[in-house]
Amino acid sequence: MKNLAINGGPRAIEGVLPSFRDTTGRTFGKAESDYLREVMESGRLSFLTGPKTAAFERRWAETYGVKHAVAAANGTAALHTAVVYLNPEPGDEIILSPITDAGTVIPILSQLAIPVFADVDPLTQNMAPASIERNITPRTRAIIVTHVYGHPADMDAILSLARKHKLFIIEDCAQAHLATYKGRLCGTIGDIGCFSFQQSKHMTTGDGGMVISNDDGRFGRGLRHCSDKGWPRERGGRDHLFLAPNYHMTELQAAVGLGQLEQLDSFVTNRVCAADRLTELLADIEVQPVLPLNDTKGVYFFYSFRLDPGKLTAPVADIIKALVAEGIDGFIGYPGPIPLYRYPVVRDHKTFGNSGLPFTLVGARRDDFNSALCPEAEKACRETVCMWWNDRFEERHLQQMAEAIGKVVSAYRA
Ligand SMILES: Cc1ncc(COP(=O)(O)O)c(C=O)c1O
């Protein structure tokens, strides 16, 4: 134990690892600068007068081979746009994972729909189809499928449930840029796909998002109108057809997005290569990496691994402190040490004033958001180490990370 950095020993990782937080781990090239300059020199910072947002949407649609791509202010906005498009009745239910960002549940609550949490598969930490099925009721309208850590969920099983129960599938690809399931790009497998370009994502515009779909308005609403105040601008004049937020992306974000998209393939390839190499280096260490399913391409938003508390002399939270002291950029569990439903917004219905809406709607489903709700998600949050991942990791970084993990895990082995 003496040689652990947390006890004053030498750190396994020299210096700091490349990080999404700054230029150590974010690559902005000449294209981003040129496009940004064009926007500034044109004086056209809004999509209403400038061409960059439309160009970014076009390129994203081409990359994904879809008919519609609508840029949004951020990933939560993209998901909210998708839920506005679905137009649920208040009290309708939408199934989601407890292992995801708050940005997945906020749109559901904002539209007065009820979030219903399906438990996860212990290996992938994506929603388990059997748990989804158990949670389907006559009021279920949709499933939001988060491909967590960038690893595709079990889409064949989920699609077959959707077909059987006539459910709409929203893919939350905020962590899954260019991930594929059986050769198909995530975001194009369900009915609608949502992306985030927040600072930590595979590519970034600071904040930003995108919604894609091949759907032509089956719920009587145009996708673009769902993030534009319900406004059918293409008809000319001013009209507001239904309640919808304003989630425009700016031309500044789109300028950066266009440049980043040119590099996205190499960002993703580098992340995956680095992750595969770390998995090799960890082969003899008692940790269980969270890996993509067979026949899928997972794109490693985080590199996550499970620890078995029964085989350790200290709680996982303490092990993580020791790892951080060695220089690892990581934390316990996703979205944290507890699943999403145990945060006050969901658990205590901290929504609209003191109304408790939508949970207090007459006839609405009322789950107890306690630790008994999704046992596998509870365990996963307690036992998983998530490491921020980066396309700039080199062999020396990966060697040092493996050394740090090996050193700490063996020091705490029971
Ligand atoms: C899985 C998932 N869903 C939704 C979001 C929300 O995206 P944003 O932070 O861009 O609003 C994020 C981003 O953190 C995410 O990781």
Task: Specify the CATH number for the domain of residue 275.
Answer: 3.90.1150.10
Residue nearest to atom 4 of ligand 1 (CA): 103
- Which residue's CA lies nearest to atom 14 of ligand 1? 101
Confirm whether 373 is domain-assigned: no
End-to-end Cα, the chain, rounded Å = 13
Q: How far is the CA of 85 from the centre of ligand 1 (A)?
A: 19
Could you tell me if 145 and 286 lie in one domain?
A: no
Q: Which residue(s) pair with 304 in the sheet?
A: 386
46 with 182, same domain? yes
Tell how far the Cα of 75 is from the centroid of ligand 1, in angstroms: 5
Q: Say if residue 224 is in the same domain as residue 311.
A: no
- Is 161 inside any structural domain? yes
Which residues, in sequence order, are CB contacts of 225 under 8 Å at separation 6+?
231, 232, 241, 242, 244
- Ligand 1 nearest atom to the CA of residue 146, by list position: 1
**Residue where one domain finishes, among candidates 195, 227, 259:** 259
| Domain limit, last residue, from 212, 235, 259 | 259
Q: How far is the CA of 175 from the centre of ligand 1 (A)?
A: 7
* Residue 79 Cα: closest atom of ligand 1: 4
Q: Residue 340 domain-assigned?
A: no
CA 324 to ligand 1 centroid distance, Å? 24
Number of domains comprising the chain: 2
For residue 217, tell me if it sits in a domain: yes
Indicate whether residue 172 lines ligand 1 (CB < 6 A). yes
Protein residue with its CA nearest to atom 5 in ligand 1: 103
Asked whether residue 12 falls in the same domain as residue 40, the answer is no
The response to whether residue 257 sits with its C-beta less than 6 Å from ligand 1 reads: no
Listed residues 238, 259, 280: the one ending a domain: 259
Ligand 1 in reach of 193 Cβ (< 6 A): no
> What is the distance in A from the centroid of ligand 1 to the CA of 399?
30
> Which protein residue has the closest C-alpha to ligand 1 atom 8?
75
What pLDDT is attached to residue 75? 99
pLDDT for 244 equals 98
Distances (CA, A) of 68 to 49, 123, 203, 240, 373: 20, 34, 20, 21, 37
Residue 202 and residue 93 share a domain: yes
For residues 144 and 222, state if they share a domain: yes
Same domain, 268 and 254: no
Which of 196, 300, 301, 304 is the pocket-test mutation for ligand 1 (most atoms within 8 Å of CB)?
196
**Inter-residue contact 228 to 239 (CB < 8 Å):** no
Q: Say yes or no: CB of residue 171 within 6 Å of ligand 1.
A: no
**pLDDT for res 2:** 60
With vertex at residue 147, the alpha carbon angle to CA 255 and CA 391, rounded to the nearest 5 degrees, is: 50
Query: Are residues 85 and 160 both part of a single domain?
Result: yes
Residues 191 and 280 in one domain: no
Is residue 178 domain-resident? yes
Tokens 């789109």 label which residue?
Answer: 254
Q: Looking at the domain assignment, is residue 348 inside a domain?
A: no
- The answer to whether the beta carbons of residues 3 and 9 sit under 8 Å apart is yes
User: Best mutation site among 97, 194, 198 for ligand 1, i.e. most ligand atoms within 8 A of its Cβ?
Assistant: 198
Query: 268 CA distance to ligand 1 centroid (A)?
Result: 18
Strands 93-96, 114-117: pairing is parallel
Task: Give yes or no: residues 215 and 326 share one domain.
Answer: no
- Considering the domain boundaries, does residue 160 fall inside one? yes
Residue 351 lies in a domain: no
Distance 7 CA to ligand 1 centre (A): 36
Domain holding 172: CATH number?
3.40.640.10
Rounded Cα–Cα distance for residues 308 and 127 (Å): 21
Q: What are phi and psi for residue 294, nearest 5 degrees?
A: -60, 150
Neighbours of 210 (CB within 10 A): 28
Q: Tell me how crowded residue 124 is: count the other CB atoms within 10 A of its CB.
A: 23
Measure Cα distances from 274 to 29, 301, 302, 313, 327 in Å: 22, 12, 12, 30, 17
pLDDT at 198: 98
**Residue 174 shares a structural domain with residue 298:** no
- Give the single-character DSSP code of 354: T
Check pocket membership of 175 for ligand 1, CB cut-off 6 A.
yes
Q: Which one of 81, 101, 149 would you pick to mutate in the ligand 1 pocket, going by the greatest count of ligand atoms within 8 A of its CB? A: 101
Task: Supply 52's token pair.
Answer: 């960059």
Q: Does one domain contain both 210 and 309?
A: no
Tokens 């930590």 locate to 200
How far does the centroid of ligand 1 lie from the alpha carbon of residue 362, in Å? 31
For the chain, the maximum distance between any two Cα atoms, rounded to a whole number of angstroms, is 73
Q: Ligand 1 centre and the CA of 101: distance in Å?
A: 5
Say how far apart CA 234 and CA 246 lie, in whole Å.
Answer: 16
Residues of the chain with pLDDT under 70: 2
Would the CB of 92 count as within 6 Å of ligand 1? no
Measured from the CB, is residue 101 less than 6 Å from ligand 1? yes
Residue 131 sits in which domain range? 30-259
